[in-house]
């Protein structure tokens, strides 16, 4: 199988399969593969916001150690190799093709053996997770970071319990399904939780659940945080008396950083120690495409991959951090989805003046004055025509959208995209 065919196989697979008993096909696949999920030491990254950034911070620090580390993110990238990271680098074309090819052969055989040819169908996330397990096993990873999928049926629930769960972002105390999901992680034999609840009710939910099963709970001490500098190039802060630099900007990313520092401290106790210097350098050198990334100045163009309401509020809060520099006028470039109205709502609440809304998709009756573009080329053309001088543009949406627009725009601006 070629890499191109491997990518098509994943993208053409369904998001979920209603007719199959939960996890049945995945367990059968892992059985055929000799159970690559067993014997793996991994951290489960779950929560509402910040999972991918936390994973990138962990990878950035551990790649300068003697540990072999693998990471899986579930939000599909344009280049699916970037969803599976081994020792700080995306999976190679050959390795990705090999892993997916093995899965495809077994799925094809199982489908032919089944009475109903449609009864053995794997979802996108099942294929991606299994490909990651095969890659991690081949690389003999000492430690793996596996992100939960909150959009569809999450195949990571069929993995053996992780030795640590990191709950990123806000704990949604009003979301009963999400709370039950968190409780299920804790009750399945987890010994260690690192989290950052945003309010007293959320803290009570998770602390009471942990106490009931004697699970250790670690929470960042925000009283020990001092933000020293915020800029569009990065941030400087002090935490628990130690100074740090962060290669990405925004206060929320500092929150992710101190969350990661607490996670490093617990992992050190668990047998994966890192030094202060390794953490410092890993955070300082961190560069994340389309994670509140400044693509240009004058005009200021910022790209941030996000899609949830919680994340949208966080992005707008990060914009507010630089209001004294960027002003209160902003333009948006978004996919045609509910996030258009959500961004408008949040920005209006924050008293921003929205100058332009460039939308990728067909014209819809949204009661908003939008510029609709049917192709990426049309979007880039609209951006270059409308965004000039001291204008501010925010490009946002799911990773697949934001990364593509970011890449094409940087090419037009004369930069070589990462």
Integer Cα distance of 391 and 50 in angstroms:
28
Q: Does 394 have pLDDT greater than 70? A: yes
Comparing 198 with 373, the larger pLDDT belongs to 373
pTM, 2 dp: 0.87
Class of domain 293-412 (CATH, top level): alpha beta
- Name the DSSP class of 293: E
Integer Cα distance of 358 and 340 in angstroms:
10
Using CA atoms, how far residue 106 sits from 30, 116, 261, in Å, is 10, 16, 41
pLDDT in tens, 289-313: 888 999 998 899 999 998 777 789 8
| Residue given tokens 């309010």 in the structure block | 199
Which pLDDT value is given to residue 138?
96
**Identical fold between 3-284 and 293-412:** no
User: Is domain 3-284 annotated with CATH 3.40.1190.10?
Assistant: yes
pLDDT in tens, 167-188: 776 665 566 666 676 677 677 6
- Whether the bond between 299 and the residue before it is cis, its omega within 30 degrees of 0, is yes
Residue-range domain boundaries for the chain = 3-284, 293-412
């Amino acid at each position: 199988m070629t890499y191109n065919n491997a990518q098509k196989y994943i993208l053409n697979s369904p998001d979920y399969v209603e007719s199959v008993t939960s996890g049945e096909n995945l367990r059968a696949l892992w059985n055929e593969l000799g159970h690559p999920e067993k014997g793996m030491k991994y951290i489960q990254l779950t929560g509402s916001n910040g999972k991918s950034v936390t994973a990138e911070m962990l990878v950035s620090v551990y790649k300068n150690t003697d540990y072999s580390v693998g990471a899986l993110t579930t939000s599909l990238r344009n280049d699916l190799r970037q969803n599976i990271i081994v020792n700080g680098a995306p999976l190679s074309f050959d390795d990705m093709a090999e892993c997916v090819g093995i899965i495809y052969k077994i799925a094809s055989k199982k489908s032919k053996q089944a009475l109903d040819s449609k009864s053995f169908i794997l979802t996108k996330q099942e294929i991606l997770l299994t490909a990651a397990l095969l890659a991690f096993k081949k690389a003999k990873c000492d430690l793996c970071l596996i992100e939960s999928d909150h959009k569809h049926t999450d195949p990571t629930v069929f993995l053996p319990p992780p030795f640590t769960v990191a709950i990123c972002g806000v704990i949604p105390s009003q979301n009963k399904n999400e709370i039950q999901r968190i409780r299920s992680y804790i009750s399945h034999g987890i010994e260690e939780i690192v989290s950052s609840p945003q309010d007293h009710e959320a803290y009570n939910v998770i602390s009471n659940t942990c106490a009931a099963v004697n699970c250790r709970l670690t929470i960042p001490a925000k009283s020990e945080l001092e933000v020293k500098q915020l800029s569009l190039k990065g941030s400087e802060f002090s935490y628990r008396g130690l100074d740090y630099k962060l290669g990405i900007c925004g206060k929320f990313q500092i929150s992710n950083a101190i969350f990661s520092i607490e996670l490093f401290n617990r992992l050190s106790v668990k047998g994966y120690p890192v030094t202060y210097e390794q953490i410092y350098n890993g955070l300082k050198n961190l560069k994340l495409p389309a994670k509140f990334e400044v693509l240009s100045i004058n005009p200021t163009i910022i790209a941030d991959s996000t899609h949830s309401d919680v994340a949208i509020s966080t992005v707008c809060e990060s914009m507010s951090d630089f209001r004294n520099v960027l002003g209160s006028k902003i333009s948006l470039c978004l996919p045609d989805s509910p996030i258009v109205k959500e961004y408008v709502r949040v920005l209006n609440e924050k008293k921003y003046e929205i100058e332009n809304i460039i939308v990728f998709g067909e014209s819809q009756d949204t009661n908003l004055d939008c510029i609709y573009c049917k192709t990426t080329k049309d979007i880039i053309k609209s951006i270059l025509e409308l965004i000039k001088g001291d204008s501010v543009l925010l490009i946002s949406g799911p990773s697949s959208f934001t990364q593509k627009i970011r890449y094409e725009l940087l090419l037009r601006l004369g930069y070589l995209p990462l």
